[in-house]
Structure formats: structure tokens, C-alpha cells
Amino acid sequence: MTHTDSHSSTYPLNINGVQRHLPLFKVQSDLAIAVLNILGDTELTEAAAHALNGRMAGISYDVIVTAEAKSIPLAYALSVHSGRPYIVLRKNYKSYMGEALSTETLSITTGKPQTLYLDAKDRAAIGGRRVALVDDVVSTGSTLAAMRALMVQAEAEIAAVAAICTEGDMAQWSEVIALAHLPLFPLSA
């Protein structure tokens, strides 16, 4: 594996002065990725939210939108820093969600189709508003595509797309406001 540090199975990441060594995880027989998991990592989440809020200062948006579950702490922290509310697109429908909008995506980590739901209350909160789509890592773009599809259905305008990291082909993610880029790690067969 290339581009790793002295820890043979990790990749170094520095976000706004916070250093982490991301474990490499084999996702295919010939490919590994560096896994960023901010759940429970308040220091990294806060550093990322602070930096993203600064990078998004010149963008006019009303609401932060994220998908369940790993990026919820980031959306929350960005909400605190920006003073804007956040909405979470859910992966399971509950009856209290009312007439929810839905769309399907394919998860790179599970390899299975997943459905994202925007509940009726949140749909009303973003209809006609400018939203910032936020994720921890944008890799294949499948979650982002599903989030975009729901915003179209909800008649919300996408003002920005932000993430802690992009992954894979950097040129593909030129529109994403990101703090770092994670390379892919080809494995020899």
C-alpha cells in the first residue's frame, strides 16, 4: 500500500490541526480505503465543523442537511458554529414521519441498496430554502446523489456541498468544499 505513514495499515490525516491515523479497510479484493469515523471523536468533529464553517462563511444557505448516521455529529457541530438548523435524512421509515419523500442509494461500505427518507416536518422546513448538503466523506457519490434527488423532490435549492474529506478521483469532487482528500489504496492480487 502506498501513501501510508509508518503505521503500515493506516493513513495520516490532519484536520484543522487535529491529527488522526485512519485505518485502511479492504472493500474489494484489489482495493482498500482509509476509514474516517467521527462518531465519538468530539475533538476531530469540532475541528472539522470550525474549519468548514469558515470555508462556508461566504455562502448563503438556510439549513444544513445530512444523511444518517456517521455525519450527524458533524451536522450538529456545524449547526452550532453557523447558527443554522440541521436536518437528518433517515435510513428507516417510521410512521411519525408522515408523508415522507424517499430515494434509494447504494452504500459503498455495506454494498447494499439503502433508502433515504425526508420526513414531512423536515420537508416543510426546507421547501423553497437554500440548503448545504454535508457528509463526513464523499467517495462514490451515491449518498450525495440520493441527497440531491431528495432536495429536488422537496423543492430545496442546493447552495453548497461540504465534507470533511473527498475520496477517490479528486477532480470528480471539485464542487465539494472539503478539508482533505483521501486517496484509494490499490492492493496487489
14 pLDDT band (50/70/90 cuts)?
A: very high
The phi and psi torsions of 5 (rounded to 5 degrees) equal -90, -160
pLDDT of amino acid 108: 58
What SS3 class is residue 40?
coil
Give per-residue pLDDT as tens, 39-53: 999 999 999 999 999
Question: Which CATH number is 76's domain given?
Answer: 3.40.50.2020
Assess contact for 20 and 35: CB atoms under 8 A.
no
Provide the residue type at 69 as one letter: A
Q: Which residues contact 20 (CB under 8 A, 6 or more apart)?
A: 12, 13, 14, 36, 41, 44
Rounded to two decimals, the pTM is 0.90
Q: Quick one: how far is CA 62 from the chain centroid?
A: 18
Residue ranges making up the domain that contains 137: 37-181
Q: Does 174 map to a domain?
A: yes
| Exposure letters 124-144 (e unless 16+ CB within 10 A, then b) | ebbeebebbbbbbbbbebbbb
Domain count for the chain: 1
Q: Does 17 map to a domain?
A: no
Q: Does 55 map to a domain?
A: yes
Give per-residue pLDDT as tens, 91-105: 887 888 788 888 887
Q: What is the mean pLDDT of the chain?
A: 90
Q: Does 26 map to a domain?
A: no
Cell, residue 151: 432536495
Nearest to 149 by CA among 114, 112, 181: 114
